[in-house]
Amino acid sequence: MAPLTSAKTRPVRLADIAKAAGVSHGTASNVFARPEIVREEVRERVKAAAEAMGYGGPDPKGRLLRAGKVNAIGVATAEPLSYFFDDPFARVMMASISQACDATGAGISLVSAVNGEQLAWNIQSALVDGFIVFCVDGGSKLVQLARERKLPFVALDLDSDDDDAVAAIGVDNIAGAGLAARHLTELGHRRFAVLTLPCADAGFGPTTREQVEKALYSATRDRLRGYFAELSRFDIDVSRVPIYETVNDEKSVWAGLDHIFAGAETPTAILAMSDRIALHALDWLRQHDITVPGDVSIVGFDGVPEGAVSKPPLTTIVQPIAEMGRLAVKAILENDGSFSRQSLPIELVIRSSSGPSPA
């Protein structure tokens, strides 16, 4: 009773079929990797043996070790994995990253974890040739982890504070935010409110300029700086502009508007730090019979496709998301070490969510 294939495991290796076919493992390997250099008769014999023994082809695990290259890039975020499929910005970015990967034949590994411990492990053990890091929240920890791995990586975000020798691709958030604020002031608006992206680790609520300056995520900081710099230029007292921190979801945005419009002096213009925030705000305003842009104007940030078909279509600062994705993939794949940081142009796209101040 020879214990043959125990149906549980697949202990059939290349060496096994080589022996079965009566050739060396070197030749067996060639049959799969470079069939043209092995004599037809032998090739068929090996293939037959493989077939007979239920061999599924060379195991990539083995090849990988020898080759060194995984041929896949990791995309990392500190959000839960589903972030990639839920968030509009992430989706557009991922779509362009995928296209770039498709074009070069590289695969994509999604790396994430909410729990910090787990995240570290996931990054340390990810089988990838490099990382693209989504610096949404807790970005610096991610960057830290990615760097420790000593693999090429690019951060999708330009941190204006530390030009820390970390390779990064992003936009000038300060300038972009300035564009938004300037657009609204030029339309005559003087009473503003700001809906921010997350600053602290969790939670939402009214916040202050000082708090936002401490935000983990640099884009949040820079966008507020951009808004306020421009508003100040128009002699608007930014210390009186209400700032509400959201977590980029419907609930917190609605709570923010509840809060803002409960005040005595309601704004005629809202600066939203993401299109997602702006779109949720549009819903809230519609439900409260506040017309846009009649009563209130709103400008988003990002330029996701949903903004073009919302009601009304959203005026926003569009980032060249597709281009960013493409460059990020390129930076990883063709990593020659030279790449450092790249700032891409943003653009104000005026649609119908902004109009003259009612006052």
CA dihedral 196, 199, 201, 202 (to 10 degrees): -20
Q: Judged by CB under 8 A, which of 34, 39, 41, 57 binds a copy of itself?
A: 57
Q: Is 169 helix (H, G, I), strand (E, B) or coil?
A: strand
CA distance 283 to 349: 20
Q: Which of residues 145-204 bind a copy of itself (CB under 8 A)?
A: 147-152, 165
Report what 71 binds from a copy of itself, DNA, none; CB cut-off 5-8 Å by kind: a copy of itself
Residue 194 forms beta bridges with which residues? 243, 271
CA distance 211 to 216: 10
- In total, the chain counts a number of residues equal to 359
DSSP string, 55-114: --SS-HHHHHHHH----EEEEEESS-TTHHHH-HHHHHHHHHHHHHHHHHT-EEEEEE-S
Q: Quick one: 32 or 244, whose CB is closer to DNA?
A: 32
Q: Quick one: 59 or 213, whose CB is closer to DNA?
A: 59
Residue 5 binds to DNA (criterion: CB under 7 A): no
Residue 61 binds to DNA (criterion: CB under 7 A): yes
Q: Which of residues 26-55 bind a copy of itself (CB under 8 A)?
A: 54-55
Q: Judged by CB under 8 A, which of 44, 48, 82, 263 binds a copy of itself?
A: 82
Report what 7 binds from a copy of itself, DNA, none; CB cut-off 5-8 Å by kind: a copy of itself
Q: Judged by CB under 7 A, which of 37, 52, 95, 103 binds DNA?
A: 37
Binding-residue pattern over the window 277 to 316 for DNA, x denoting contact by CB under 7 A = ----------------------------------------
CA distance 232 to 267: 16
Q: Judged by CB under 7 A, which of 44, 51, 59, 186 binds DNA?
A: 59
Q: Quick one: 24 or 115, whose CB is closer to DNA?
A: 24
Instruction: Give Cα 95 distance to the centre of its chain.
Output: 10
Q: Which of residues 125-154 bind a copy of itself (CB under 8 A)?
A: 125-127, 147-152
Cβ(97)–Cβ(72) under 8 Å? no
Alpha helices in 164-274 (DSSP H): 173-186, 209-213, 218-233, 250-262
Cβ(132)–Cβ(329) under 8 Å? yes
Residue 320 binds to a copy of itself (criterion: CB under 8 A): no
Q: Is 156 helix (H, G, I), strand (E, B) or coil?
A: strand
Site residues (CB under 7 A) for DNA?
11, 13-15, 22-27, 29-30, 32-34, 37-39, 41-42, 57-59, 61-63, 65-68
- Give the interface with a copy of itself as residue ranges (CB under 8 A): 1-2, 4-5, 7-8, 10, 54-57, 60-65, 68, 70-72, 80-82, 84-86, 91-92, 94-96, 98-99, 101-102, 105, 107-114, 118, 121-122, 124-127, 147-152, 165, 335-337
